[in-house]
Amino acid sequence: MSDRERNRPLSRAFAAPLRAMNRVLGAADGSPNGNRPGHGEGSAVVDCAVYVAGRRLPGDHAPDEALKIACSQENAFVWLGLHEPGEQEMAAVARTYGLHELAVEDAVKAEQRPKLENFGSVHFLVMRTARYVPHSQITETSQVVETGQMMIFVGEQFVITVRHGDASEMGSVRADLEATRADLLEQGPWAVAYAVTDRVVDHYVAVADKVEVDLDQIEEGVFARDQASPIPAIYQMKRELVEFRRAVVPLQRPLAMVVALVPKRIGKYFRDVQDHLTRTVEQVSSFDDLLNSILQARLAQVTVDQNNDMRKIAAWAAIATVWTAGAGIYGMNFKFMPELDWQYGYPAWWTVILIISVLLYRALRRSGWL
């Protein structure tokens, strides 16, 4: 996660104009509602709605107006969705909803580990989002997992979701709740927090399943003789897995705290999310062990290949030594030497050298050196 973290400001510089264009066209960040009238062009507000008894009130509301409506009715709350808000816009929301300045700072910077904090009657849950980046093959520069952040402010009559990055869009979550889960929305802001958390963890599960396929491909490539050494790809996969692990594993403790905190009627839903998260954590741990085993197997294979190459070089060097020794002996400038004046001396020298070389080659071949 090193180079991508350093290059993130540049990517955001290009992404911001695209998001603004999408909002103008009416489909901001995957939300079916787009940039609703009244939120202002280029605003970080993706959607702001008032729910009464699990049903959304018609009309478009500004954040302050929506809170007034919710406070004036029973069993009502506001769901305000934000995407990468700036300091001024987040400060305005904080004044309206009474958010703590430390939590607001975290929501703007989006550089937090998963955690759950309590600021009076407002709970602040931080998660890291993740999505799988499709690719044709794993190389030393492949991006496999892209992460972002999701912050949730849960108050007595409001829930504010703040998303950074393009992973785990919330438009479909809101649409699903409004269309088919009115009974769940009726249980208040923690129901929205559950739905958002469930979507984030579901994406963890999907990423883990696809990463497992990549690991299978890497494992096959380790023992394929017709492929280049996959060691750089293995190291890249380990880096991507570390990034994914930083998103998944630290969420266990905050989620356990949420399960103990929320009412029992909604706690059973969070326990289901906790089960999915535990399964994903176990998968990630097994992936790390598998990558270490693959890397050790590949390094051992490289060592064996190098030893085999050295044995072949030594075997051919031994055969070449026979020729070198023969040429060295009969190349000495002595006047009286056997076979110098013999008619068949030259053919006999070639015959002896060839016989010795063939016998030595066959012996080395049988021993596995050639």
For residue range 211-259, what is the model confidence (pLDDT) as tens digits?
888 888 877 777 666 555 577 777 888 888 888 999 999 999 999 999 9
Higher-confidence residue of 140 and 252: namely 252
Give the 3-state secondary structure of residue 135.
Answer: coil
The predicted-structure confidence for 272-296, as pLDDT tens digits, reads as follows 999 999 999 998 888 888 888 777 7
Strands (DSSP E) contained in the chain are 45-52, 55-56, 76-83, 115-119, 122-132, 145-154, 158-164
38 pLDDT more than 70: no
What token pair was written down for 190? 């923690």
> In whole angstroms, what is the distance from residue 272 CA to residue 259 CA?
10
264 pLDDT more than 90: no
Q: Which pLDDT belongs to residue 23?
A: 38
What token pair was written down for 22? 């999408």
In this structure, are residues 178 and 160 in contact, taking their beta carbons and an 8 Å threshold?
no
If one counts every other C-beta atom within 10 angstroms of the C-beta of residue 226, the result is: 5
Q: Phi and psi dihedrals of 173, rounded to 5? A: -65, -45
Report the phi/psi class of residue 45: left, alpha or beta, with left for phi > 0 and alpha for psi in -120 to 50: beta
pLDDT (average), residues 136-162: 88
Q: Which pLDDT belongs to residue 39?
A: 53
What token pair was written down for 356? 């010795």
Higher-confidence residue of 355 and 234: namely 355
Instruction: Give me the amino acid identity at 191.
Output: A
In this structure, are residues 145 and 224 in contact, taking their beta carbons and an 8 Å threshold?
no
Give the 3-state secondary structure of residue 280.
Answer: helix
> In whole angstroms, what is the distance from residue 362 CA to residue 224 CA?
29
Q: Which of 10-19, 106-115, 137-146, 235-244 has the lowest mean pLDDT?
A: 10-19
Q: Which pLDDT belongs to residue 42?
A: 63
pLDDT (average), residues 106-114: 87
Q: Cα 296 from chain centroid?
A: 22
What token pair was written down for 143? 């991006």
Q: Which of 143-152, 177-186, 361-370 has the lowest mean pLDDT?
A: 361-370
